[in-house]
A and B are shown apart, each in its own frame.
Chain A
Amino acid sequence: MAAGVVGVMGIARLYQYTVSGLSVASELVLPGLIAAEDMPGVSPDVVIREGEVPGALEDVESLGPTWQVGKGRFLLEVPGILRMLLTEGREIVFATAEGVAREEATVFVSGTGFGILLHQRERIVLHASAVRVRDSAVLFCGPSGAGKSTLAAALSDAGYDLVTDDFCGIAMDADGLPWVQPDGRQLKLWQNSIDRLDMADRRAAPVRKVLEKFYVEPRAASTVALPLAAIYVLREARPPAVPGIQRPNIVDGALMVRGNAYRPAMVRRMNQQALYFQAAAAISQRAGVFTLTRELNFAKFPAVIGWLEAHWTELGLLEQAA
């Protein structure tokens, strides 16, 4: 880990966080992540700093319109906002575009950047939000807009602590059991959801100044790793899909897990298909993979939470009512 220290030199102030079980020292304040104690003399796992970012990599192995991959390095540009260089899962260097405040880099560094960095570390990273149900974590996966954060927000108000929002790192232990590493203390919600969920009093800073999307304090957040008990893939109830919770067969379940990787294209570009498939199969066997099909309608949240609680009782995560 000594190599990670190189980037620390010359930095005036560092903020400490824990992300997916990794210690992070960041020059940038990263709202939404778990703040950690400063541990003098201990090298952080990951360093995030502002600095020079090359326009291109020298040894490009694959590339897209806004990104390049080469030898343990990943260069990403969000045109007009920032560029960042991620190196071997241990360093993120960012440079904002001219005239753009460094705060604008925050959500791209802590979300997209960290998600890709975890891919570099060969972690299993799913596009998911998670809550704590007694001593386990349950995940909600789905593409952008599937309602992951909103459901996690509603569940956190119903008494289930927030574990992660948006992306979720999973570690397999020596016995092949999946564990969920907590990621965040705050939710990221659109104003409409904040209004409908009556959470205006817990609204914090905007995710970006130009967006009506805000960090929101959950009622409570969990900061310890928890065994993964169930994954729900969110679906909208539109014909012919019927509302409810269903268990797909194990192959479909494994494919769903892999398909919900934080960046499926990263899995391909970094040749991690086998890694994901093995993990997905293990997760399907050890934990349940289910589809949760419901209408996208705030009025239905109490009913959906009711289905989930009944299902958690069935799975033994919650005890039977007396």
Chain B
Amino acid sequence: MRKTYWLASYPKSGNTWFRLLVANLRRDTPVDINDIPERSGIASARGAFDSIMMFPSALLTHEECDRLRPMVYEVLAEDDLEDPDEVETKIGHTRFVKTHDSYSYNPDGSALMAGAKGADGVILIVRDPRDVAPSLANHNRTSIDEAIAFMADAASNFCGHRDRQPNQLRQQLMGWSGFAESWLSQVDIPVHLVRYEDMHADTSGVLGGALAFAGIDAAPDETVRAAGFAEFGELKKQEEERGFREAPRPKMGKGPGSFFRRGVSGGWRDELDLDQIARIERDHAPMMARLGYAPAENAAVAKSAPPTQDRIERMTG
């Protein structure tokens, strides 16, 4: 029986790292970063939509696509595509599918991600918004201030252009707080919360916990090995040697950016000014508190914040 788990995250929160960890499980050598699925690996890819519906998403408005997307996820959850363009991120019969879509409902009341018919659960990856901001600025080739404004905007999206064909279906992000809220408050599928900071502190343990949530038994030595293969230095080295196809695109005279930038938690302390820190904390105070990200003046407390995992798992069963 095929199982599907969404890997949901606000952009720049560790989704690719998590997929690389999964891809490195039960391997003898580190996986090539350019071998993890790209186009078909994300829920907003156009290829699956076009091939399942038999007409192109490009001839529809974003709103029309949204209405039909649940059908696509239902079919994908049921079927093994006979001749997929790319392999998916899979362990056995369990698919892990990246998404930057917030959890939303169409005007007819159906869940965009098809609710329980689209997936068996979601691994929600969150990261301190103060670390997301500089990383997002680097990825989008914008200023940090623009990234902070983007994260605060509940109407923000990826691939939402109307005068050209975006390379993926539109993803409505709902802002940093709204994104996490949307996935945490839905009751259609169980949620397993992973904090980027906890992935840093105990990569193997967090990976093992997430895999267990998805019904996959992985022995500690297996997760330790995968964690080593997907260690930041290894990923960075691969990107420096051969490049990474998911790296930021060149923009206005700048060459391609690097995807694996710093790979740290708490880097915001030397990347943001006081005003920027204050803005992010003001924009996202309730969700930061809920996820255990303490305000700057109490930064020391953040490290000892109680894990929110137990509470969330209890909440969602």
Mark A residues whose CB is within 8 Å of B. 64-67, 76, 78-81, 107-108, 111-112, 116, 143-145, 190-193, 207-208, 210-213, 238-241, 259, 263-266, 268, 295-297
Q: How far is the CA of A297 from the CA of B82 in the complex (A)?
A: 34
Contact of A66 among B71, B239, B247, B249 (CB under 8 A): B71
Q: How far is the CA of A263 from the CA of B16 in the complex (A)?
A: 30
* CB within 8 Å of A: which B141-173 residues: 161-167
The 9 A-B residue pairs with the shortest CB-CB distance, nearest first, are A239-B243, A192-B164, A65-B71, A191-B163, A238-B245, A190-B164, A240-B242, A112-B55, A212-B163
16 contacts between A and B (CB under 8 A): A65-B53, A111-B56, A145-B167, A192-B163, A213-B165, A238-B249, A239-B243, A239-B244, A239-B256, A240-B242, A264-B51, A264-B83, A265-B51, A265-B52, A296-B249, A297-B250
B74 within 8 A of A: yes
* CB-defined contacts of A210 to chain B, threshold 8 Å: 61
Are the C-beta atoms of A64 and B55 separated by less than 8 Å? no
B50 within 8 A of A: yes
Q: How far is the CA of A266 from the CA of B52 in the complex (A)?
A: 10
**A-B pairs with CB below 8 Å: how many?**
102
Known: A144-B165, A193-B164, A210-B61. 20 other contacts (CB 8 A): A65-B53, A65-B74, A78-B55, A111-B56, A112-B59, A144-B46, A144-B50, A144-B56, A145-B46, A145-B58, A190-B165, A192-B163, A207-B59, A208-B59, A211-B59, A239-B243, A239-B244, A239-B247, A263-B51, A268-B82
Are the C-beta atoms of A116 and B247 separated by less than 8 Å? no
* CB-defined contacts of B246 to chain A, threshold 8 Å: 238
Given A143-B47, A211-B61, A268-B83, are A64 and B54 also a contact pair (CB < 8 Å)? yes
Chain A residue at smallest Cβ distance from B59:
A107
Chain B residue at smallest Cβ distance from A238:
B245
B234 within 8 A of A: no
Min Cβ gap A180→B in Å is 21
Q: How far is the CA of A76 from the CA of B244 in the complex (A)?
A: 39
Are the C-beta atoms of B64 and A80 separated by less than 8 Å? yes
Are the C-beta atoms of A64 and B165 separated by less than 8 Å? no
* CB-defined contacts of B54 to chain A, threshold 8 Å: 64, 66-67, 76, 112, 116, 263, 265-266
Chain A residue at smallest Cβ distance from B72:
A65
Q: How far is the CA of A78 from the CA of B57 in the complex (A)?
A: 10
B271 within 8 A of A: no
Bitwise, B65-78 to A at CB < 8 A (1) or not (0) is 00110011011000
B85 within 8 A of A: yes
Chain B residue at smallest Cβ distance from A66:
B53
Are the C-beta atoms of B52 and A65 separated by less than 8 Å? yes
Are the C-beta atoms of B75 and A65 separated by less than 8 Å? yes
Contact of A239 among B39, B53, B58, B245 (CB under 8 A): B245
Q: How far is the CA of A79 from the CA of B165 in the complex (A)?
A: 21
* CB-defined contacts of B185 to chain A, threshold 8 Å: none
B316 within 8 A of A: no
Are the C-beta atoms of A112 and B56 separated by less than 8 Å? yes
Are the C-beta atoms of B59 and A108 separated by less than 8 Å? yes
Contact of A108 among B55, B71, B163, B243 (CB under 8 A): B55
* CB-defined contacts of B47 to chain A, threshold 8 Å: 143
Given A66-B53, A108-B55, A239-B256, are A79 and B67 also a contact pair (CB < 8 Å)? yes
Chain B residue at smallest Cβ distance from A69:
B54
Min Cβ gap A85→B in Å is 14
Min Cβ gap A17→B in Å is 20
Contact of B247 among A76, A107, A238 (CB under 8 A): A238
* CB-defined contacts of A297 to chain B, threshold 8 Å: 250
Are the C-beta atoms of A295 and B57 separated by less than 8 Å? no
Given A66-B71, A79-B67, A191-B164, are A144 and B58 also a contact pair (CB < 8 Å)? yes
* CB-defined contacts of B59 to chain A, threshold 8 Å: 107-108, 111-112, 207-208, 211
* CB-defined contacts of B186 to chain A, threshold 8 Å: none
Name which of B83, B244, B247 has the most chain A CB atoms within 10 A of its CB.
B83
Are the C-beta atoms of B58 and A259 separated by less than 8 Å? no
B110 within 8 A of A: no
Q: How far is the CA of A193 from the CA of B256 in the complex (A)?
A: 23
Min Cβ gap A198→B in Å is 15
Name which of A76, A111, A239 has the most chain B CB atoms within 10 A of its CB.
A239
* CB-defined contacts of B164 to chain A, threshold 8 Å: 190-193
Q: How far is the CA of A297 from the CA of B163 in the complex (A)?
A: 16
* CB-defined contacts of A144 to chain B, threshold 8 Å: 46, 50, 56-58, 165
B34 within 8 A of A: yes
Min Cβ gap B245→A in Å is 4
* CB-defined contacts of A259 to chain B, threshold 8 Å: 85
* CB-defined contacts of A213 to chain B, threshold 8 Å: 58, 165
Chain A residue at smallest Cβ distance from B71:
A65
* CB-defined contacts of B64 to chain A, threshold 8 Å: 80-81
Bitwise, B222-245 to A at CB < 8 A (1) or not (0) is 000000000000000001001111
Min Cβ gap A259→B in Å is 7
Q: How far is the CA of A294 from the CA of B59 in the complex (A)?
A: 25
* CB-defined contacts of A190 to chain B, threshold 8 Å: 163-165
Q: How far is the CA of A297 from the CA of B256 in the complex (A)?
A: 13
* CB-defined contacts of A266 to chain B, threshold 8 Å: 54
Given A208-B59, A266-B54, are A145 and B245 also a contact pair (CB < 8 Å)? no
Are the C-beta atoms of B75 and A64 separated by less than 8 Å? yes
Chain B residue at smallest Cβ distance from A212:
B163
Min Cβ gap A184→B in Å is 16
